[in-house]
Amino acid sequence: MFGVVGCALCVVGSIDIVLHAPMERKIDSVSEIWQLATEPGFIVYSCLAVALALVLMFWVVHHTEQRKMLAYVAICSLFGSLTVISVKAVAIALKLSFNGVNQFVYIQTWFFISVVIICCLVQLNYLNKALDSFNTAVVAPVYYVMFTTLTILANMIMYKDWDSQNATQIASEVCGFVTIVAGTFLLHKTRDMGNTQPDSDSLRADCELQEHS
């Protein structure tokens, strides 16, 4: 029952976000993304994200044990938000190149490719550390929430898609996101509830052991 409710919450929240999502800005070249990425707002966000990730990597992780999971997940999420932006640039470069407009002659394209590779390697490293050290049922929902929140924030700063929306539309999207978060936590917290009872083979083995003793 909890699994059904969790899935229903995720579906309802996703539909709500899709129905009220802002219109995506049309990008026709890597140069346009580079122009957006070099605006002061996104440069400030990128510098803060990298600086905070470095502090977490070289200080927080080595000086705390209780919050190490949050540090691992925060590192993955901060680099993940930059990865999403760079992946979109690479995807546009591939699409335009396949259509006959080669985008790989620009240094910006290779810069975005380098960012994708570096950020993905960092995310894989620290996500594996988090999963090896802590319960997946705890890591997965926290990572989902933090990664999604920072990715939305990065896109808001860079593309400014929400400038054309009113308060009602923004509130509906926030409610949809909170609904998805609630469903995700519910699914992960209750996924092992049906596996707590011992199976019949274990009960039979226990009975045979008691009879022989």
Top mean pLDDT of 126-140, 149-163, 196-210 is at 126-140
pLDDT at res. 137: 77
Q: What is the pTM of this model?
A: 0.77
Note down the domain range covering 146: 28-160
**145 inside domain:** yes
pLDDT at residue 195 greater than cutoff 90: no
pLDDT at res. 39: 92
- What percent of the chain has pLDDT above 90? 33
Cα separation, 210 vs 213, in Å, equals: 5
Q: What is the pLDDT of residues 27-72, one digit of tens each?
A: 778 888 899 999 999 999 999 999 999 999 999 888 877 678 889 9
pLDDT at res. 207: 53
pLDDT at residue 124 greater than cutoff 80: yes
Average pLDDT of the segment spanning 156-161:
82
pLDDT at res. 6: 81
pLDDT at res. 129: 92
**97 inside domain:** yes
**23 inside domain:** no
**105 inside domain:** yes
Q: Which residue has the higher pLDDT, 86 or 138?
A: 86
pLDDT at residue 212 greater than cutoff 60: no
**Residue 61 has what DSSP assignment?**
H
pLDDT at res. 191: 63
**148 inside domain:** yes
Number of domains in the chain: 1
CB contact at 8 A, 17 and 173: yes
Cα separation, 40 vs 46, in Å, equals: 10
**49 inside domain:** yes
**170 inside domain:** no
Q: How confident is the model at residue 84 (pLDDT cuts 50, 70, 90)?
A: very high
pLDDT at res. 23: 73
